[in-house]
């Protein structure tokens, strides 16, 4: 049998990472399982360049920087991190431990489980141009993580939504040039000031335009050909054409749900003994759907898991005591 953990956290976003830190702080053997190839969850995908103001201690922090800080904090307690796996089933064994089974058949074993996987899994809509897959995650990207990698580069953004405008304006500060390609005439979900900012920028905007062909060899993309026969040199392409969101598997995991979320009390306990919840996956009266809320829920979930594992365990621990001599 694979190694047995005290706590296994499903979801490696900011809530899942903070859950891992607090679990490690309580000296619980901890594993994190994330569906995406990278950690950070929705914050990494949707807010990397935007400043977040609802997290204590930060008077505005970009999503990218917040993820880096929370990941660094989590890794301090050395949890086991697994990425690129989607949990399909959670089965309780005769010895009361849990077997977590991924869609690829991988098995994970844990004494308790904390669900921090939000509203379900998602994948970005692909570019959809022949041969694009060979440049994926090299020169074609679906998030703007690590914006400094684009310094001095010729950038192409493909999007018909406000996200594309946000990305283009953020890239304008570091890239040598930015073009925004929209296959329609209008941008979706925009405000008047978004369009004003775009019009006052140096971003080249192409409406009713599509990429028809990618020019380059198997290793390097050099330029793109548009459906108007124009060719543009480009170093990187950023794509946001929406998401394919897959409904959560909470029902399949034997968890009660309410409109796609898991009802809990202040102890973050689900209807299944030994399974706890934190972050967007959880729902309770007067819940606030904020990043900061997930951190408090993470601590409550870990404290409940600790009491579940050992009824004599302390109801909570204090970091000022545990890390008194840490510098």
Domain 4-122+244-322: give its CATH code.
Answer: 3.50.50.60
Amino acid 324: pLDDT: 59
**Res. 158: pLDDT tops 80:** yes
Distance CA 142, CA 37 (A): 12
Beta-bridge mates of residue 16:
none
112-126, 189-203, 277-291: least confidently modelled range: 112-126
For the chain, the structural domain boundaries read 4-122+244-322, 126-241
| Residue 152: HSE in the Cβ half-sphere, 13 Å Cα cutoff | 0
What residues contact 193, with CB distance under 8 A and at least 6 apart? Answer: none
| Superfamily for the 126-241 domain | FAD/NAD(P)-binding domain (3.50.50.60)
Evaluate if residue 186 carries a pLDDT over 90. yes
What global pTM score does this model have?
Answer: 0.81
* Gap between the Cα atoms of 205 and 47, Å rounded: 22
H-helix or E-strand containing 163? Answer: helix 162-172
pLDDT at 245 over 80: no
Share of the chain above pLDDT 90, in %: 75
């Amino acid at each position: 049998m694979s190694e047995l953990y005290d706590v296994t956290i499903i979801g490696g976003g900011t809530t899942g990472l903070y859950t891992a830190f607090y679990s490690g702080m309580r000296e619980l053997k901890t594993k994190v399982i994330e569906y995406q190839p990278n950690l950070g969850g929705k914050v990494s995908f949707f807010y990397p360049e935007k400043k977040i103001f609802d997290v204590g201690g930060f008077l505005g922090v970009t999503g990218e920087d917040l993820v880096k800080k929370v990941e660094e904090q989590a890794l301090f307690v050395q949890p086991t991190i697994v990425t690129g796996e989607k949990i399909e089933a959670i089965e309780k064994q005769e010895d009361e431990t849990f077997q977590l089974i991924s869609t690829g058949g991988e098995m994970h074993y844990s004494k308790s489980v904390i669900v921090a996987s939000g509203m379900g899994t998602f994948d970005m809509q692909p570019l959809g141009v022949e041969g694009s897959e060979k440049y994926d995650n090299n020169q074609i990207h679906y998030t703007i993580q690590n914006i400094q990698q684009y310094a001095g580069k010729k950038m192409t953004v493909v999007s018909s939504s406000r996200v594309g405008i946000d990305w283009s304006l953020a890239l304008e500060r570091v890239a040598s040039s930015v073009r925004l390609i929209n296959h329609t005439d209008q941008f979706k979900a925009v405000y008047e000031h978004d369009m004003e900012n775009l019009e006052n920028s140096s971003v080249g905007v192409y409406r009713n335009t599509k990429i028809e062909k990618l020019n380059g060899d198997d290793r390097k993309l050099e330029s793109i050909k548009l459906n108007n026969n124009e060719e543009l040199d480009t170093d990187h392409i950023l794509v946001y054409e929406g998401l394919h969101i897959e409904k959560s598997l909470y029902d399949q995991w034997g968890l009660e749900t309410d409109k796609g979320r898991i009802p809990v009390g202040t102890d973050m306990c689900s209807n299944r003994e030994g399974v706890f919840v934190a972050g967007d996956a959880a729902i309770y009266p007067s819940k606030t759907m904020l990043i900061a809320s997930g951190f408090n829920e993470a601590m409550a979930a870990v404290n409940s898991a600790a009491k579940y594992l050992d009824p004599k365990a302390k109801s909570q621990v204090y970091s000022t005591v545990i890390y008194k001599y840490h510098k």
